[in-house]
Structure 1
Amino acid sequence: MESAPLEFSLPNAAVGPDPFSLADLSSDVRFVVLFFQRDHYCTNCRSQVQAVAERVAAFRTRDAEPVSVVPEPLDRVAEWQAEYDLPYPLLADSEASVADAYDQPVRFGLLGDLSDFLGRMPRVVVVDRSGADSEAVYTYSGRSTFDRPEIDELLDVIDEHRTAGGDPPPAE
């Protein structure tokens, strides 16, 4: 599909390496599912991180690591971790540089650029790290704060790419 930028480093408020980089993940992690959130106040984002936490074992059974990226400073992202105790990386992208590198959509033009609350939409990118170069094998760009892929849809995408690469289906 498209080459994914490997080299980024962001502060991590939850489990995993801190600072976090895709390159620092274990070689056992074939897929990284990046959830680009809207902002600290977004109730749909908060619901999504909790739903992913409830299904983290299903991701890991598939050699996949979910990672949420929030375009906020570390102290605000740490509030989510204190409230939800997420069992996967939760990254602070205060400048939204990684979100921009992964083409997280922003609505309302210049006004949306000035305010993440008004303009930043959710995006999910599944990165396959199995080749010589990591590759984004799936992207989903939300058109509203409610427009997000279902977790089962993401797990199906991972399963399709696992079996296409010769890996057996996960044992759940």
Structure 2
Amino acid sequence: MTIEIGKQAPDFTLQAHNGETIKLSSLKGTTIVLYFYPKDMTPGCTTEACDFRDQVVQFTEVDAVILGISPDPVDRHQKFAEKYGLPFLLLADPEHQVAEEYGVWKLKKNFGKEYMGIERSTFIIDKTGTLVKEWRKVKVKGHVEDALTYIKENLI
């Protein structure tokens, strides 16, 4: 499935770090910030998660929910959320099915090695479930502020 701005966001059901099962379509009526990240407890992913944590009140004020997705299992997400006090849900996608649907499961290269993994990306889904904005190959610095600004300027 190819995702496209202006179309319904692909629905999914995943386990969250708190034991809940989250179905994306059940969140209609709320703006969703859906961010995909490679791995819990790594420097870039920790910085990004903590940036979202530090701005969570501002996202809540604009009726937006933050959801983080990586291939890590639920128990690792639990440890990550507890260690850094993350007040939003981390969803486990160990078979990377949702990552593939959203087109973020990519061939990556690092130190001459090639492997499949998550391309850091963020998607904004409006209250009707429509994909309205995407950022791919995200650079962590300043990204959370960009997402918040987009919501403030376009969705409220």
Partner Cα separation in structure 2 for residue 18 and residue 26 of structure 1? 17
User: Offset of 1:63 from its aligned partner?
Assistant: 1.1
- Unpaired runs of 5+ residues, structure 2, are none
Partner Cα separation in structure 2 for residue 86 and residue 128 of structure 1? 23
Partner Cα separation in structure 1 for residue 91 and residue 105 of structure 2? 18
- Is residue 2:115 matched to residue 1:112? yes
Partner Cα separation in structure 2 for residue 111 and residue 2 of structure 1? 33
What secondary structure is seen at the aligned counterpart in 2 of 1:106?
strand
Q: Aligned in 2, Cα 1:39/1:61: closer, same or farther, shift over 3 Å?
A: same
Q: Aligned in 2, Cα 1:101/1:2: closer, same or farther, shift over 3 Å?
A: farther
Aligned residue pairs, count: 148
- Is residue 2:101 matched to residue 1:101? yes
Structure 1 counterpart of 2:149, from 156, 159, 163: 156
Partner Cα separation in structure 2 for residue 40 and residue 87 of structure 1? 15
Q: Is the 8 A contact 1:32 1:67 kept in 2?
A: yes
- Unpaired runs of 5+ residues, structure 1, are 168-172
**Which residue type is aligned with residue 96 of structure 1?**
H
Q: Is the 8 A contact 1:4 1:102 kept in 2?
A: no
The structure having more radius of gyration, on CA atoms, is: 1
Partner Cα separation in structure 2 for residue 32 and residue 108 of structure 1? 27
User: Offset of 1:39 from its aligned partner?
Assistant: 1.4
What secondary structure is seen at the aligned counterpart in 1 of 2:34?
strand
Q: Tell which has more relative contact order, 1 or 2 (C-alpha 8 A, sep 6+).
A: 2
Q: Is the 8 A contact 1:125 1:136 kept in 2?
A: yes
Q: Which structure dedicates a bigger proportion of its chain to strand?
A: 2
Q: Which residue of 2 aligns with 1:9?
A: 13
Q: Deviations over 1:61-100 (max 9, x none)?
A: 1111111111111122111122123111111111111111
Q: Is the 8 A contact 1:105 1:123 kept in 2?
A: no
**Which residue type is aligned with residue 8 of structure 1?**
F
TM-score (norm 2): 0.83
* Greater Cα offset, 18-27 or 93-102: 18-27
